[in-house]
Structure 1
Amino acid sequence: MLIGLLTAVAASICYGTGSVLQAVGSRKSARREAVAAGVTQHGGPNLSSTAKAAMTWEFIVGTILDFVGFGLGALAARLLPLFLSQTVISANLVITAVLSVRLLGIRLTRAEWTSIGVVCSALVLLASAAGPEGGGHTPIATHWWLLVISVLLMVGGTVVVRLLGARAAILAGLLSGLGFGALGVGVRVLNGIDPFDLGALLSDPALYAILVAGIGGMYLHTVALQIGSVNGATAALVVGETVLPGMIGVLWLGDSSRAGFAWMAILGFVLAVAGAVAVAWFGAPEAHGAEPEPESESESESGSESGSRSESGSQEPRPEELTPVPWPPAH
């Protein structure tokens, strides 16, 4: 249990740090692409702009941390009940919020600090109440269903998000959260791990469900970072990543709490999700009171900022213009 908890915490730190770095890269790219009209006809980022966001050095380092976090999270999903491992990992929102104070210059409000305290207290309750994880042995038909559902969610969701464009932040966050949740379930039921059997591993549909859900979730996560304010999307991601996998773990995989501590596990789970959603929700841009700089006379006479930048071509956006959201959604 202790090794599993430490692994989940380490995964959370990697994801939280990676999210801050990815946000910096995504925002810079999104601002530059706004000048070049790097959007679809519906107002959302196109594939080219998303790819360019992924090529910034900040995003690359953040992605490396995501891969490390993925490996640690996968191990945690094998060692802990899903309602505990997924909740601890989703607490990377707290890591992201705290790091944003240093890296993005964000000032956290009292409500945000209170929400962070609720999440930390809830995780203590969960860790105290969690029992041994259930088995990961399920019928192979379940693995096929997981693959089909993952494909439908990620492929169908991507199409819908592109059609909705700039209105799809919350939906993109929810779908990416469901993708990461499906990834956790897939890791838990994956065959050929213990004992290791390469043939069983490669023939298991759950392996391909993990790939589809992971890649699709990452893409939708990147899109959510590019679509304006993502506080609501972050809250949706937390719900998708924790609630459904936790229920699946309890109902189908045999996860349970310690005898007589079910009430504590339920309370801790509810408080952790509610606290994480509150951290996201109270992180709205207007809550941080960033004062826009007054326009100079030359800017007033030149029309819109985007027009003047298009003419100059090489002018870099000011730092305050790179923060359309206070901090990004996490995994």
Structure 2
Amino acid sequence: MVTGLITALIASICYGSASVLEAVAARRAEGLKVFTQPLYLMGLGLDGVAWVASLVALQFLTLFTVQALIAGSLIVTVLLAKMVFSTRLGTSTWWAMGLLVAGLVVIALATGEQPATGAPRLLAPVLGAVMLLLTVALLVLYRRRVPLAMSILAGLAASVSALAARGLELGGSLWQILMQPLLWVLCVAGVVAMASYTRALEHGSVGAMTAVFTVIEVVVPGVAGMMLLGDASRPGWEVAKFVAIALSLLACVWLAKQPGADPVHEAQSTHEDEEKMAGRGT
């Protein structure tokens, strides 16, 4: 279980750092050009590390636990924005971060070992059908300026990715792993989530889009994990865990609305200040 907690923490740090890089890159270029931005590629690399770490974590912990811990990446985003862009953090922001940390500690204490039961046989075809619908939705909506819809789409795709990762069996040979349909569902879901979230960042507030994305990617796979995969908490910790998850999500939404959670806004403000200073000097 300790291995799962450590790898989930690594995933959270990498995701939070990647959000800063990708958000800035998303406003420097639109459409497919964003994928050639160096900052975006660096963020994508961190996303890859986080993705692998989350896969490992899901082999030891329940979906609700892993997704809630990964949601703590907002703290990393806010603190990085403060360091890089000299963002001022208000008292309420520090309280929200403290609440989120406390909630994550309770979640870690309340977490149970991942049950040994395998994934239902229908999990792969059902998730595959859902991903087909989400992929079609991405193709239809990509050229439109609908950031909220894209953020919801990204959250749903990330939920499918988490469920596929939870059902994936990594105990066999490489060939056996590659032959599992859930692996390919997971890969497609990851691409759709990445493309949708990036598009949402191009036209929407980073804080608001991140809040929507975070809530969906925690709640949807967490509930599905309990209903379909037998995920559970430690005996006697059920109420504490769900209260902690609720408080953590509220803290995430609050943090996402703060200026420090919007690195793009901070970068633009810094750039404008530099231009004003340059204008005064001429």
Question: TM-score scaled to structure 1, two decimals?
Answer: 0.76
Q: Which residue in 2 is equivalent to 1:259?
A: 235
**Residues 11 and 53 in structure 2, CA contact (< 8 A), matched pair in contact too:** yes
Paired with 1:118 and 1:74, the residues of 2 have a C-alpha distance of 27
User: Counterparts of 1:158 and 1:104 in 2: how far apart (Å)?
Assistant: 35
Q: Distance in 2 between matches of 1:151 and 1:105?
A: 43
2:280 alignment counterpart: none
Unaligned runs of 5+ in 1: 30-48, 294-317, 323-331
Larger Rg: 1
For 1:110, the aligned partner's letter is T
Cα gap change, 1:160 to 1:6, in 2 (>3 Å)? same
Structure 2 unaligned runs (5+)? 275-282
Q: Which moved more, 1:8-17 or 1:139-148?
A: 139-148
In structure 2, what is the equivalent of residue 278 of structure 1? Answer: 254
> 1:4 is matched with which residue?
4
User: What's the % identity of the aligned pairs?
Assistant: 31
Residue of structure 1 aligned with 2:156, choices 178, 199, 204? 178
Q: Which residue of 2 aligns with 1:14?
A: 14
Q: Indicate the residue corresponding to 2:111 in structure 1.
A: 130
Q: Over residues 253-290 of structure 1, what are the superposed CA-to-partner deviations in whole Å (9 max), with x where a residue is unaligned?
A: 1111111111111111111111111111234899xx98
Residues 172-192 of structure 1, C-alpha deviations (whole Å, 9 max, x = no match): 11211221121111011114x
* 1:63 has 2:44 as partner: yes
Task: List 4+ stretches of structure 1 deviating above 6 A.
Answer: none
Secondary structure, counterpart of 1:140 in structure 2: coil
* Structure 2 residue matching 1:108: 3-state secondary structure: coil
* Counterparts of 1:60 and 1:199, CA distance in 2: 29
Distance across 2 between alignment mates of 1:136 and 1:11:
25
| Counterpart AA for 2:141 | V
Which structure shows the bigger proportion of residues in helix conformation?
2
The answer as to 2:222 corresponding to 1:246 is yes
Q: CA deviation at 1:241?
A: 0.7
- Cα deviation per residue 1:13-72 (whole Å; 9 max; x = unaligned)? 11111111112222222xxxxxxxxxxxxxxxxxxx332212121111111111011100
Superposed counterparts of 1:301-316, under 5 Å: none
Aligned length: 271
- The Cα offsets for residues 275-311 of structure 1, whole Å up to 9 and x where unpaired, read as 111111234899xx98x99xxxxxxxxxxxxxxxxxx
SS in structure 2 at match of 1:258: coil
Distance 2:207 2:229 in 1: 32
1:17–1:99 Cα contact (<8 Å) kept: yes
Q: Which moved more, 1:244-253 or 1:222-231?
A: 222-231
1:204 pairs, out of 161, 166, 180, with 180
Task: Look up the SS of the partner of 1:139 in the other structure.
Answer: coil
Residues 237 and 97 from structure 1, CA distance in 2 versus in 1: closer, same or farther, beyond 3 angstroms?
same
Equivalent position amino acid for 1:26 in 2: A
For 1:94-153, what per-residue CA distance to the aligned partner results, in whole angstroms no more than 9, with x for missing partners? 111110111233222222222111110100111111111123512332211111102212
Q: Is the 8 A contact 1:101 1:107 kept in 2?
A: yes
Letter paired with 1:189: G
Letter matched to residue 9 of structure 1: L
Pair 50,181 (structure 1): closer, same or farther in 2 beyond 3 Å: same
Residue 319 (str. 1) matches residue 271 (str. 2)? yes
Q: Quote the residue 1:24 is aligned against.
A: 24
Q: What does residue 187 of structure 1 align with?
A: 165
CA contact (8 A) 1:154 1:217 kept: no
Superposed CA RMSD in Å reads 2.4
Change (3 A) 1:136 1:86: farther
**Rounded Cα–Cα distance in structure 1 between residues aligned with 2:155 and 2:259:** 18
1:59-208 equivalences in 2 (<5 Å): 59-135=40-116, 137-163=118-144, 165=145, 168-191=146-169, 193-194=170-171, 196-208=172-184
Residues in 2 aligned to 1:203 and 1:281: alpha-carbon distance in whole angstroms: 42
